Amino acid sequence: MKKKVLIYGAGAIGRGYLPWVYKPEFYEYYFVEKNKQIRDLLNSRKKYNSYMTIDGQYEKKTFELKICYSPGEEINELNNFSFICIAVGPRNFHNLIDNFIGTNIPIICFENDSSLSEKMKKITGNQNVVFGIPDVITSNTASDKFLKEDPLSIITENGECFIDDKVNHLGGECSYISKSELDIQWKAKLYIHNTTHCIAAYLGNLIGAKYLHNSMESEKIYKIVEGAMLEIKKMLSLRFKIKNDFLDYYSKKELSRFSNSKLYDPIARVAREPFRKLAKNERLIGAASLCLASGVVPINIIKGIIAAFCFEKEGDSDYYIKYLINSLEINDFLSIIIGLRKHEALFQLIVNNWDENLNEIKNLRNE
């Protein structure tokens, strides 16, 4: 008998990657999705095409689903599911927590914030809430050719999925590992992947690139991303004593996947919500601060931070960042908006090299 899995978020990870982890021979898929257009398409078609890039080629699978719920419609059905996966983004995650108060269903939080699973566990009393890391890049779209065949088409790479071994009975094509091992994988994902991934996207946005691989085709952008990765590797080695051979392997993998032209990974997806990524303990400001605390000067990360300040994408929830950076002096923007204090080293580094860095990244288009 197949296990019934409820997936919150029919986007990149939820629709694009998890069905490759939990294969249709053994699992039935139910989604919860707030985007009405995607929800209606899923419910009318009851299937969609997913493509995985493997050794420069695509492997195609057509996944079938039972139903895609509108948020709230699934509440009375929760006890009918074998387990739940959540991949909605940190901003949307908090709206779901109350749904699970008093439940004991296994819940895997595939979010870019390792604290969320513990927060949900504490509030709900559900001790079967765990953290999962989808070490993968999955686009939320596909090529025009694939979309013409199926507007729900989506592309993922052949990544890895790491999950707390507390729920290893759920099975799937993934690695269930200890919390200590999960912590190492998370630090690598948060900083080597997340930090440089969005830096490549923010720099790509400045040159008008549509997809991430277009950004990495720029030699200057590639050099900045590679430089940021080197700064992070040094920090992770010095501060957290993570082995250099693992860091070297992880970094090489990231540079390769960022350049994968078969992924069609949109700049708009990777760069979205810049204020969240610029939070003090997040992938940009947080990574730069940890570098400085470890004796590493984050020259290239700072260029990525400034590129994030300049992000402009109409329709993005943080689109107004461009108005703030254009209307405030940099000192005021950093202190009032970003929350850095004037005596902090990172504040001084950004201010002292502001004109030089701003001119450099704005001139990338003239490469």
Write the Ramachandran bin of 121: left for phi over 0, alpha for psi from -120 to 50, otherwise beta: alpha
Give the β-pairing of 83-86 and 3-8.
Answer: parallel
pLDDT value of residue 314: 85
CATH fold of 3-177 reads: Rossmann fold (3.40.50)
pLDDT in tens, 316-338: 999 899 899 999 999 999 999 99
pLDDT in tens, 271-314: 999 999 999 989 999 999 999 999 999 999 999 999 999 998 88
How many separate helices (H) and strands (E) can be counted in the chain?
Answer: 18, 11
Percent of the chain predicted with pLDDT > 70: 99
- The rounded mean pLDDT for the chain is 96
Average pLDDT of the segment spanning 46-73: 97
Average pLDDT of the segment spanning 107-127: 95
Q: Is the pLDDT of residue 364 over 80?
A: yes
> Binning pLDDT at 50, 70 and 90, where does residue 365 land?
confident
Q: Is the pLDDT of residue 367 over 70?
A: no
Residues of the chain with CATH 1.10.1040.10: 182-366
Q: Is the pLDDT of residue 217 over 90?
A: yes
Q: In this structure, what token pair is assigned to residue 180?
A: 């200590």
Residues of the chain with CATH 3.40.50.720: 3-177
Global pTM value: 0.93
pLDDT value of residue 322: 86
CATH 3.40.50.620 describes domain 182-366: no
Among 233-242, 259-268, 315-324, the least confident range: 315-324
Q: Is the pLDDT of residue 126 over 90?
A: yes
CA nearest 193: which of 144, 111, 136, 235? 136
Among 3-7, 121-125, 320-324, the least confident range: 320-324
Helix (H, G, I), strand (E, B) or coil at 244: helix
Average pLDDT of the segment spanning 139-161: 96
DSSP secondary structure of 147-200: HHH-TT-EEEE--EEEEEGGGGGG-SSSEEE-HHHHHHHHHIIIIIIIIHHHHH
pLDDT value of residue 157: 96
